[in-house]
Chain A
Amino acid sequence: MLALVKRYRELILVAVLLLFPLAVFFANAKKPGERSRFDRAVLTVTAPIEKVVAVVVTGTLQAWDGYVALRGAHQRAIETARQNRDLTLERQALLAERAENDRLRKLLGLAEAEPHRAYVGARVIGVRLAAAGLQIVTIDRGADDGLARAMPVVVAEGVVGRIHAAEGHSADVLLAVDRNSSIAARVERTRARANVRGLGRPDLARLDYALRSEDVIEGDLLVTSGTDGVFPPGLPVGRATRLQRASHGMFQEGWVVPTVDPTRIEEVLVITSAAGDPTQLPAALGPAVRP
Protein backbone atom coordinates (compact mmCIF):
# COMPACT_ATOMS: atom_id res chain seq x y z
CA MET A 1 0.00 0.00 0.00
CA LEU A 2 2.76 2.37 1.08
CA ALA A 3 4.74 1.43 -1.99
CA LEU A 4 1.71 2.19 -4.13
CA VAL A 5 1.32 5.63 -2.51
CA LYS A 6 5.04 6.29 -2.97
CA ARG A 7 4.86 5.23 -6.59
CA TYR A 8 1.91 7.47 -7.41
CA ARG A 9 2.61 10.28 -4.95
CA GLU A 10 2.93 12.94 -7.68
CA LEU A 11 -0.36 11.91 -9.22
CA ILE A 12 -2.07 11.84 -5.83
CA LEU A 13 -0.75 15.29 -4.90
CA VAL A 14 -1.88 16.82 -8.18
CA ALA A 15 -5.29 15.16 -7.82
CA VAL A 16 -5.62 16.60 -4.29
CA LEU A 17 -4.62 20.06 -5.56
CA LEU A 18 -7.29 19.73 -8.22
CA LEU A 19 -10.14 18.23 -6.22
CA PHE A 20 -9.75 19.96 -2.85
CA PRO A 21 -10.37 23.49 -4.28
CA LEU A 22 -13.34 22.11 -6.22
CA ALA A 23 -14.83 20.78 -2.98
CA VAL A 24 -14.16 24.12 -1.27
CA PHE A 25 -15.86 25.90 -4.18
CA PHE A 26 -19.01 23.79 -4.01
CA ALA A 27 -19.09 24.27 -0.22
CA ASN A 28 -18.70 28.08 -0.46
CA ALA A 29 -20.39 28.75 -3.78
CA LYS A 30 -23.39 30.54 -2.29
CA LYS A 31 -21.39 33.03 -0.25
CA PRO A 32 -18.79 34.79 -2.39
CA GLY A 33 -16.76 37.57 -0.86
CA GLU A 34 -16.38 36.11 2.63
CA ARG A 35 -12.71 36.60 3.44
CA SER A 36 -10.65 35.00 6.18
CA ARG A 37 -8.02 36.84 8.19
CA PHE A 38 -5.31 35.29 6.03
CA ASP A 39 -7.11 36.48 2.87
CA ARG A 40 -7.30 40.01 4.27
CA ALA A 41 -3.62 39.92 5.25
CA VAL A 42 -2.69 38.89 1.69
CA LEU A 43 -4.86 41.63 0.23
CA THR A 44 -3.19 44.28 2.38
CA VAL A 45 0.03 43.33 0.57
CA THR A 46 -1.55 44.00 -2.85
CA ALA A 47 -2.90 47.47 -1.97
CA PRO A 48 0.56 49.11 -1.61
CA ILE A 49 1.64 47.42 -4.88
CA GLU A 50 -1.40 48.92 -6.63
CA LYS A 51 -0.64 52.32 -5.14
CA VAL A 52 3.03 52.23 -6.20
CA VAL A 53 2.17 51.01 -9.72
CA ALA A 54 -0.59 53.64 -10.01
CA VAL A 55 1.88 56.38 -9.05
CA VAL A 56 4.56 55.07 -11.43
CA VAL A 57 2.19 54.58 -14.38
CA THR A 58 0.43 57.93 -13.86
CA GLY A 59 3.76 59.71 -13.47
CA THR A 60 5.18 58.07 -16.59
CA LEU A 61 2.10 58.88 -18.66
CA GLN A 62 2.03 62.47 -17.41
CA ALA A 63 5.74 62.90 -18.09
CA TRP A 64 5.31 61.41 -21.56
CA ASP A 65 2.28 63.61 -22.30
CA GLY A 66 4.13 66.65 -21.02
CA TYR A 67 7.19 65.89 -23.12
CA VAL A 68 5.18 65.34 -26.30
CA ALA A 69 3.08 68.45 -25.67
CA LEU A 70 6.16 70.60 -25.05
CA ARG A 71 7.88 69.23 -28.13
CA GLY A 72 4.81 69.92 -30.26
CA ALA A 73 4.48 73.42 -28.87
CA HIS A 74 8.14 74.11 -29.62
CA GLN A 75 7.77 72.99 -33.22
CA ARG A 76 4.70 75.12 -33.63
CA ALA A 77 6.54 78.09 -32.15
CA ILE A 78 9.31 77.73 -34.70
CA GLU A 79 6.75 77.60 -37.42
CA THR A 80 4.58 80.45 -36.22
CA ALA A 81 5.47 82.53 -33.19
CA ARG A 82 6.74 82.12 -29.64
CA GLN A 83 3.71 83.85 -28.25
CA ASN A 84 1.39 81.43 -29.95
CA ARG A 85 3.12 78.48 -28.31
CA ASP A 86 2.97 79.99 -24.84
CA LEU A 87 -0.72 80.77 -25.16
CA THR A 88 -1.49 77.29 -26.41
CA LEU A 89 0.33 75.68 -23.51
CA GLU A 90 -1.32 78.02 -21.05
CA ARG A 91 -4.73 77.22 -22.49
CA GLN A 92 -4.10 73.48 -22.23
CA ALA A 93 -3.10 73.80 -18.60
CA LEU A 94 -6.15 75.93 -17.85
CA LEU A 95 -8.48 73.50 -19.58
CA ALA A 96 -7.04 70.59 -17.63
CA GLU A 97 -7.40 72.54 -14.39
CA ARG A 98 -10.93 73.56 -15.30
CA ALA A 99 -11.90 69.96 -16.02
CA GLU A 100 -10.51 68.84 -12.68
CA ASN A 101 -12.23 71.77 -10.94
CA ASP A 102 -15.54 70.87 -12.56
CA ARG A 103 -15.27 67.28 -11.36
CA LEU A 104 -14.35 68.31 -7.83
CA ARG A 105 -17.01 71.08 -7.77
CA LYS A 106 -19.68 68.56 -8.72
CA LEU A 107 -18.57 66.26 -5.91
CA LEU A 108 -18.48 69.22 -3.50
CA GLY A 109 -21.95 70.30 -4.64
CA LEU A 110 -23.23 66.80 -4.01
CA ALA A 111 -21.75 66.82 -0.53
CA GLU A 112 -23.09 70.30 0.28
CA ALA A 113 -26.57 69.46 -1.02
CA GLU A 114 -26.95 66.87 1.73
CA PRO A 115 -25.24 68.45 4.76
CA HIS A 116 -26.63 65.86 7.18
CA ARG A 117 -24.60 63.17 5.44
CA ALA A 118 -20.93 62.57 6.23
CA TYR A 119 -18.64 61.87 3.28
CA VAL A 120 -15.09 60.66 2.75
CA GLY A 121 -13.49 61.54 -0.58
CA ALA A 122 -11.31 58.92 -2.29
CA ARG A 123 -9.40 58.30 -5.51
CA VAL A 124 -9.69 55.16 -7.62
CA ILE A 125 -6.37 53.28 -7.61
CA GLY A 126 -7.36 49.96 -9.16
CA VAL A 127 -10.02 48.52 -11.41
CA ARG A 128 -11.11 44.88 -11.58
CA LEU A 129 -13.86 44.43 -14.13
CA ALA A 130 -13.07 40.85 -15.18
CA ALA A 131 -16.25 39.43 -16.69
CA ALA A 132 -16.02 36.17 -14.76
CA GLY A 133 -15.41 37.81 -11.38
CA LEU A 134 -16.89 40.64 -9.38
CA GLN A 135 -17.00 44.16 -10.85
CA ILE A 136 -14.76 45.98 -8.39
CA VAL A 137 -12.76 49.20 -8.15
CA THR A 138 -10.19 49.80 -5.43
CA ILE A 139 -10.04 53.18 -3.70
CA ASP A 140 -7.25 54.70 -1.63
CA ARG A 141 -9.26 55.03 1.60
CA GLY A 142 -10.01 52.14 3.95
CA ALA A 143 -11.02 51.04 7.40
CA ASP A 144 -8.50 53.40 9.03
CA ASP A 145 -10.35 56.30 7.36
CA GLY A 146 -13.68 55.19 8.80
CA LEU A 147 -14.91 53.12 5.85
CA ALA A 148 -16.83 49.90 6.47
CA ARG A 149 -18.58 47.19 4.47
CA ALA A 150 -21.83 48.19 2.68
CA MET A 151 -21.25 51.95 2.82
CA PRO A 152 -22.63 53.62 -0.34
CA VAL A 153 -20.16 55.06 -2.85
CA VAL A 154 -21.34 57.88 -5.13
CA VAL A 155 -20.22 60.50 -7.63
CA ALA A 156 -22.10 63.58 -8.78
CA GLU A 157 -23.75 61.60 -11.58
CA GLY A 158 -25.17 58.97 -9.21
CA VAL A 159 -24.54 55.64 -7.53
CA VAL A 160 -21.16 53.93 -8.05
CA GLY A 161 -21.69 50.96 -5.71
CA ARG A 162 -21.06 49.96 -2.14
CA ILE A 163 -17.98 49.07 -0.08
CA HIS A 164 -17.37 45.33 -0.48
CA ALA A 165 -14.33 45.01 1.78
CA ALA A 166 -12.33 47.64 3.66
CA GLU A 167 -8.67 47.10 4.52
CA GLY A 168 -6.37 49.52 6.39
CA HIS A 169 -5.79 52.17 3.73
CA SER A 170 -7.78 50.83 0.81
CA ALA A 171 -11.20 49.43 0.07
CA ASP A 172 -12.89 47.42 -2.67
CA VAL A 173 -16.09 48.91 -4.07
CA LEU A 174 -18.62 46.46 -5.51
CA LEU A 175 -20.05 48.35 -8.48
CA ALA A 176 -23.78 48.78 -9.04
CA VAL A 177 -23.33 46.97 -12.38
CA ASP A 178 -22.07 43.79 -10.69
CA ARG A 179 -24.46 40.90 -11.10
CA ASN A 180 -24.65 40.50 -7.29
CA SER A 181 -25.86 44.07 -6.93
CA SER A 182 -29.57 44.81 -6.73
CA ILE A 183 -30.64 48.35 -5.83
CA ALA A 184 -34.14 49.27 -4.72
CA ALA A 185 -35.21 52.16 -6.96
CA ARG A 186 -38.11 54.41 -7.91
CA VAL A 187 -38.97 56.06 -11.18
CA GLU A 188 -38.34 59.71 -10.41
CA ARG A 189 -41.29 60.94 -12.52
CA THR A 190 -44.00 58.58 -11.22
CA ARG A 191 -42.48 57.13 -8.04
CA ALA A 192 -43.11 53.62 -9.41
CA ARG A 193 -41.00 51.01 -7.64
CA ALA A 194 -38.50 48.64 -9.23
CA ASN A 195 -35.11 47.05 -8.69
CA VAL A 196 -31.99 47.69 -10.74
CA ARG A 197 -29.86 44.56 -11.01
CA GLY A 198 -26.35 44.49 -12.48
CA LEU A 199 -25.42 42.15 -15.29
CA GLY A 200 -21.65 42.07 -14.87
CA ARG A 201 -21.07 44.52 -17.72
CA PRO A 202 -20.35 48.22 -17.28
CA ASP A 203 -22.85 49.66 -19.75
CA LEU A 204 -26.15 47.98 -18.94
CA ALA A 205 -28.26 46.72 -16.02
CA ARG A 206 -31.64 45.03 -15.80
CA LEU A 207 -34.93 46.49 -14.58
CA ASP A 208 -36.48 43.99 -12.16
CA TYR A 209 -39.83 43.82 -10.43
CA ALA A 210 -41.44 46.81 -12.18
CA LEU A 211 -45.15 46.00 -12.19
CA ARG A 212 -46.68 45.76 -15.64
CA SER A 213 -49.31 48.29 -14.63
CA GLU A 214 -46.75 50.90 -13.55
CA ASP A 215 -46.12 54.00 -15.67
CA VAL A 216 -42.52 53.65 -16.88
CA ILE A 217 -41.38 55.03 -20.23
CA GLU A 218 -38.11 55.08 -22.17
CA GLY A 219 -35.64 57.53 -20.67
CA ASP A 220 -37.24 57.66 -17.22
CA LEU A 221 -34.66 58.39 -14.52
CA LEU A 222 -34.45 55.76 -11.77
CA VAL A 223 -33.32 56.95 -8.36
CA THR A 224 -32.60 55.01 -5.19
CA SER A 225 -35.69 54.48 -3.06
CA GLY A 226 -33.80 54.04 0.20
CA THR A 227 -35.78 50.94 1.08
CA ASP A 228 -32.86 48.55 0.70
CA GLY A 229 -31.16 49.96 3.79
CA VAL A 230 -27.90 50.58 1.91
CA PHE A 231 -28.41 53.61 -0.32
CA PRO A 232 -30.07 56.81 0.86
CA PRO A 233 -33.07 57.87 -1.25
CA GLY A 234 -32.87 60.12 -4.29
CA LEU A 235 -29.51 59.14 -5.81
CA PRO A 236 -29.63 58.63 -9.61
CA VAL A 237 -29.03 55.01 -10.68
CA GLY A 238 -29.81 54.93 -14.40
CA ARG A 239 -32.28 55.55 -17.20
CA ALA A 240 -34.87 53.02 -18.34
CA THR A 241 -34.53 51.70 -21.87
CA ARG A 242 -35.87 48.94 -24.16
CA LEU A 243 -39.02 48.42 -22.08
CA GLN A 244 -41.33 45.53 -22.99
CA ARG A 245 -44.78 44.74 -21.65
CA ALA A 246 -45.73 41.15 -22.38
CA SER A 247 -49.40 40.24 -22.65
CA HIS A 248 -49.11 38.16 -19.49
CA GLY A 249 -47.18 38.11 -16.20
CA MET A 250 -46.93 40.57 -13.31
CA PHE A 251 -43.86 42.48 -14.34
CA GLN A 252 -42.67 44.37 -17.37
CA GLU A 253 -39.20 43.72 -18.76
CA GLY A 254 -36.64 46.40 -19.35
CA TRP A 255 -33.04 47.51 -19.15
CA VAL A 256 -31.25 50.34 -17.44
CA VAL A 257 -28.36 52.44 -18.73
CA PRO A 258 -26.37 53.37 -15.59
CA THR A 259 -25.85 57.10 -15.02
CA VAL A 260 -22.29 56.39 -13.89
CA ASP A 261 -19.79 54.90 -16.32
CA PRO A 262 -17.56 52.81 -14.01
CA THR A 263 -14.74 52.82 -16.55
CA ARG A 264 -14.33 56.61 -16.25
CA ILE A 265 -14.57 57.36 -12.54
CA GLU A 266 -11.49 58.88 -10.94
CA GLU A 267 -12.71 60.39 -7.66
CA VAL A 268 -15.61 59.19 -5.52
CA LEU A 269 -17.39 60.05 -2.30
CA VAL A 270 -18.15 57.39 0.30
CA ILE A 271 -21.23 58.15 2.42
CA THR A 272 -20.06 57.21 5.90
CA SER A 273 -23.18 58.44 7.67
CA ALA A 274 -26.55 58.91 5.98
CA ALA A 275 -28.73 59.75 8.95
CA GLY A 276 -31.96 61.13 7.55
CA ASP A 277 -33.00 64.71 8.14
CA PRO A 278 -36.47 64.62 9.72
CA THR A 279 -37.08 68.26 8.80
CA GLN A 280 -37.25 67.22 5.15
CA LEU A 281 -40.41 65.16 5.77
CA PRO A 282 -43.76 66.72 4.97
CA ALA A 283 -45.38 68.05 8.15
CA ALA A 284 -48.11 65.38 8.12
CA LEU A 285 -45.42 62.66 8.07
CA GLY A 286 -43.12 64.25 10.62
CA PRO A 287 -42.79 63.17 14.25
CA ALA A 288 -45.97 63.72 16.23
CA VAL A 289 -45.90 66.77 18.52
CA ARG A 290 -47.88 66.47 21.71
CA PRO A 291 -49.47 69.67 22.99
Chain B
Amino acid sequence: MFLSALALAGLQAALARHLGGGAVTACLLAPLLVHLALTAGNVDGAVGAAAVGYVLDLVAGTPKGLMTFLAVAVFLATRLTGAAVEVRGRVGFALLSGAATLGLSVGAVALQRLVALPEAAPAWSLLPRLLAEAVVTGLLAPLLLLGLRRLDALLGEEEPGLIG
Protein backbone atom coordinates (compact mmCIF):
# COMPACT_ATOMS: atom_id res chain seq x y z
CA MET B 1 0.00 0.00 0.00
CA PHE B 2 2.79 2.34 0.98
CA LEU B 3 4.67 1.63 -2.25
CA SER B 4 1.50 2.05 -4.32
CA ALA B 5 0.96 5.42 -2.65
CA LEU B 6 4.54 6.46 -3.37
CA ALA B 7 4.24 5.34 -7.00
CA LEU B 8 0.95 7.21 -7.42
CA ALA B 9 2.44 10.34 -5.83
CA GLY B 10 5.34 10.19 -8.28
CA LEU B 11 2.96 9.58 -11.19
CA GLN B 12 0.76 12.48 -10.06
CA ALA B 13 3.68 14.93 -9.92
CA ALA B 14 5.06 13.84 -13.30
CA LEU B 15 1.65 13.87 -15.01
CA ALA B 16 0.76 17.31 -13.63
CA ARG B 17 3.59 18.73 -15.71
CA HIS B 18 1.95 17.50 -18.91
CA LEU B 19 -1.65 18.20 -17.96
CA GLY B 20 -1.77 21.98 -18.07
CA GLY B 21 1.54 22.38 -16.23
CA GLY B 22 -0.19 21.97 -12.87
CA ALA B 23 -2.83 24.66 -13.44
CA VAL B 24 -5.38 21.94 -12.73
CA THR B 25 -4.30 19.12 -10.44
CA ALA B 26 -5.65 15.73 -9.45
CA CYS B 27 -5.24 13.85 -6.17
CA LEU B 28 -4.54 10.29 -7.32
CA LEU B 29 -4.18 9.10 -3.73
CA ALA B 30 -7.84 9.85 -2.93
CA PRO B 31 -9.14 6.96 -5.11
CA LEU B 32 -6.63 4.74 -3.31
CA LEU B 33 -8.26 5.72 0.01
CA VAL B 34 -11.71 5.01 -1.41
CA HIS B 35 -10.55 1.63 -2.71
CA LEU B 36 -9.17 0.82 0.75
CA ALA B 37 -12.43 1.86 2.41
CA LEU B 38 -14.47 -0.34 0.08
CA THR B 39 -12.28 -3.44 0.07
CA ALA B 40 -9.99 -3.61 3.11
CA GLY B 41 -10.81 -4.52 6.69
CA ASN B 42 -11.23 -1.98 9.50
CA VAL B 43 -7.75 -2.23 10.97
CA ASP B 44 -5.60 -2.90 7.90
CA GLY B 45 -7.63 -0.30 5.97
CA ALA B 46 -7.13 2.35 8.65
CA VAL B 47 -3.40 1.58 8.83
CA GLY B 48 -3.20 1.75 5.02
CA ALA B 49 -5.09 5.04 5.04
CA ALA B 50 -2.65 6.44 7.60
CA ALA B 51 0.25 5.36 5.35
CA VAL B 52 -1.38 7.07 2.35
CA GLY B 53 -1.93 10.18 4.49
CA TYR B 54 1.72 10.18 5.52
CA VAL B 55 2.75 10.13 1.83
CA LEU B 56 0.28 12.95 1.15
CA ASP B 57 1.83 14.96 3.99
CA LEU B 58 5.26 14.42 2.46
CA VAL B 59 4.45 15.30 -1.15
CA ALA B 60 2.02 18.14 -0.48
CA GLY B 61 4.35 19.83 2.01
CA THR B 62 1.55 20.24 4.55
CA PRO B 63 2.32 20.29 8.29
CA LYS B 64 3.03 16.81 9.64
CA GLY B 65 -0.03 14.82 10.68
CA LEU B 66 -2.58 16.95 8.82
CA MET B 67 -3.14 14.74 5.78
CA THR B 68 -2.59 11.58 7.87
CA PHE B 69 -5.50 12.59 10.10
CA LEU B 70 -7.65 13.61 7.13
CA ALA B 71 -6.86 10.40 5.24
CA VAL B 72 -8.02 8.23 8.15
CA ALA B 73 -11.09 10.46 8.59
CA VAL B 74 -11.93 10.19 4.87
CA PHE B 75 -11.37 6.41 5.06
CA LEU B 76 -13.90 6.16 7.90
CA ALA B 77 -16.41 8.47 6.19
CA THR B 78 -16.12 6.52 2.93
CA ARG B 79 -16.51 3.23 4.78
CA LEU B 80 -19.70 4.47 6.42
CA THR B 81 -21.00 5.71 3.07
CA GLY B 82 -20.08 2.42 1.43
CA ALA B 83 -22.02 0.53 4.11
CA ALA B 84 -25.07 2.72 3.66
CA VAL B 85 -25.34 2.87 -0.13
CA GLU B 86 -24.26 0.71 -3.07
CA VAL B 87 -21.16 2.37 -4.56
CA ARG B 88 -19.20 -0.52 -6.06
CA GLY B 89 -19.69 0.52 -9.68
CA ARG B 90 -17.40 2.82 -11.64
CA VAL B 91 -19.71 5.81 -11.31
CA GLY B 92 -20.06 5.33 -7.57
CA PHE B 93 -16.29 4.96 -7.23
CA ALA B 94 -15.75 8.14 -9.26
CA LEU B 95 -18.25 10.09 -7.16
CA LEU B 96 -16.72 8.84 -3.92
CA SER B 97 -13.21 9.68 -5.17
CA GLY B 98 -14.28 13.21 -6.08
CA ALA B 99 -15.95 13.63 -2.69
CA ALA B 100 -12.89 12.21 -0.91
CA THR B 101 -10.62 14.65 -2.76
CA LEU B 102 -12.88 17.52 -1.81
CA GLY B 103 -12.99 16.29 1.80
CA LEU B 104 -9.20 16.09 1.95
CA SER B 105 -8.57 19.52 0.46
CA VAL B 106 -11.39 21.39 2.20
CA GLY B 107 -10.40 19.73 5.49
CA ALA B 108 -6.77 20.73 4.94
CA VAL B 109 -7.72 24.34 4.20
CA ALA B 110 -10.06 24.53 7.21
CA LEU B 111 -7.58 23.02 9.67
CA GLN B 112 -4.71 25.16 8.39
CA ARG B 113 -6.88 28.27 8.74
CA LEU B 114 -7.37 27.29 12.40
CA VAL B 115 -3.69 27.31 13.25
CA ALA B 116 -1.76 29.29 10.60
CA LEU B 117 -0.94 32.97 10.81
CA PRO B 118 -3.60 34.99 8.98
CA GLU B 119 -1.22 36.05 6.18
CA ALA B 120 -0.04 32.46 5.58
CA ALA B 121 -3.42 30.75 5.94
CA PRO B 122 -5.01 29.38 2.74
CA ALA B 123 -7.97 31.49 1.65
CA TRP B 124 -11.46 30.18 0.82
CA SER B 125 -11.02 31.85 -2.58
CA LEU B 126 -9.13 28.63 -3.46
CA LEU B 127 -12.46 26.78 -3.44
CA PRO B 128 -12.89 26.78 -7.26
CA ARG B 129 -9.46 25.12 -7.59
CA LEU B 130 -10.41 22.56 -4.94
CA LEU B 131 -13.62 21.78 -6.82
CA ALA B 132 -11.74 21.47 -10.12
CA GLU B 133 -9.27 19.09 -8.45
CA ALA B 134 -12.16 16.97 -7.16
CA VAL B 135 -13.79 16.82 -10.61
CA VAL B 136 -10.53 15.86 -12.37
CA THR B 137 -9.84 13.20 -9.73
CA GLY B 138 -13.37 11.84 -10.13
CA LEU B 139 -12.88 11.60 -13.90
CA LEU B 140 -9.57 9.76 -13.53
CA ALA B 141 -10.82 7.48 -10.73
CA PRO B 142 -12.35 4.72 -12.94
CA LEU B 143 -8.99 4.31 -14.71
CA LEU B 144 -7.24 3.98 -11.37
CA LEU B 145 -9.89 1.50 -10.22
CA LEU B 146 -8.97 -0.77 -13.14
CA GLY B 147 -5.31 -0.60 -12.13
CA LEU B 148 -6.07 -1.21 -8.46
CA ARG B 149 -8.28 -4.22 -9.25
CA ARG B 150 -5.53 -5.69 -11.38
CA LEU B 151 -3.04 -5.09 -8.60
CA ASP B 152 -5.38 -6.79 -6.11
CA ALA B 153 -5.75 -9.75 -8.48
CA LEU B 154 -1.99 -9.91 -8.90
CA LEU B 155 -1.45 -9.94 -5.15
CA GLY B 156 -4.26 -12.47 -4.72
CA GLU B 157 -6.26 -10.34 -2.26
CA GLU B 158 -9.85 -11.30 -1.56
CA GLU B 159 -12.52 -8.79 -0.71
CA PRO B 160 -13.55 -9.23 2.93
CA GLY B 161 -17.19 -9.97 3.32
CA LEU B 162 -17.30 -12.18 0.25
CA ILE B 163 -15.87 -15.12 2.19
CA GLY B 164 -16.76 -15.85 5.78
Question: Which residues does A use to contact B, with CB under 8 Å?
Answer: 10, 13-14, 17-35, 39, 42-43, 45-47, 49-50, 53-54, 57-58, 61, 124-134, 136-138, 164, 172, 174, 179-180, 182, 197, 199-202, 208, 261-265
Is A136's CB under 8 angstroms from B61's CB?
Answer: yes
* Most chain A C-beta atoms within 10 Å of own C-beta, residue among B12, B14, B73, B126: B14
**Contact among B13, B121, B123 for A50, CB-based, below 8 A:** B13
- Interface with A: B45-53, B86-94, B154-162, which one? B45-53
SS of A interface (majority): mixed
- Across the interface, do B65 and A22 meet the contact criterion of CB distance under 8 Å? yes
| Inter-chain contacts of B112 with A (CB < 8 A) | 29, 132
A21→B63 contact, CB < 8 A: no
Q: How far is the CA of A19 from the CA of B49 in the complex (A)?
A: 14
- 21 A-B pairs within 8 Å (CB atoms) are namely A17-B46, A17-B47, A25-B63, A28-B63, A28-B65, A43-B58, A46-B6, A49-B9, A54-B17, A58-B18, A126-B10, A128-B12, A128-B22, A131-B130, A132-B62, A132-B109, A133-B61, A136-B61, A172-B61, A199-B123, A201-B125
Interface string of B112-147 (1 = CB under 8 A from A): 100110011111011001100100000000000000
Residues in chain A near residue B62, CB distance under 8 A: 32, 132-134
- Interfacial residues, chain B to chain A (CB-CB below 8 A): 6-7, 9-18, 20-23, 25, 27, 42-43, 46-47, 49-50, 53, 55, 58-66, 68-69, 72-73, 76, 104-106, 108-109, 111-112, 115-116, 119-123, 125-126, 129-130, 133
A57 contacts B22, C-beta separation under 8 Å: no
Partner of B20 from the list A19, A133, A263 (CB cut-off 8 Å) is A263
Residue of B nearest to A60 (CB): B18
**A27 proximity list for chain B (CB < 8 A):** 65
Task: Please state if A127 and B13 are interface contacts (CB–CB under 8 Å).
Answer: yes
Q: Let me know if A128 and B65 touch, CB within 8 A.
A: no
Contact B65 A23 (CB under 8 A): yes
Contacts of B72 in A (CB 8 A): 14, 17-18, 21
A257 to chain B, nearest CB (A): 15
Q: Which of B9, B17, B122 meets A124, CB within 8 Å?
A: B17
Given contacts A10-B42, A131-B122, 18 further A-B contacts (CB under 8 A): A14-B72, A21-B50, A27-B65, A28-B63, A43-B58, A45-B6, A46-B13, A124-B17, A126-B16, A126-B17, A128-B61, A132-B130, A136-B61, A174-B61, A180-B120, A201-B126, A202-B22, A262-B21
Judge whether A29 and B115 touch: CB under 8 Å.
yes
Chain B residues with CB under 8 A of A57:
14-15, 18
How far is A127 from B15 in the complex, measured between Cα atoms in Å? 8
Residues of A within 8 A of B10 (CB): 46-47, 49-50, 53, 126
Residues of chain A contacted by B111 (CB below 8 angstroms): 25
Q: Are A129 and B76 in contact (CB under 8 A)?
A: no
A21 CB contacts on chain B under 8 angstroms: 50, 53, 65-66, 68-69, 72
A65 to B54, CA, bound (A): 38
Q: Are B16 and A128 in contact (CB under 8 A)?
A: yes
List the B residue with the shortest CB-CB distance to A18: B72
Residue in B closest to A36 when the chains form the complex, CB atoms = B64
- Complex formed: what's the CA distance from A21 to B47 in Å? 12
Question: Which residues on the B side are within 8 Å of A18 (C-beta)?
Answer: 46, 69, 72-73, 76
Q: Nearest-CB distance from B15 to chain A (Å)?
A: 7
CA distance A57 to B61 in the complex (A): 25
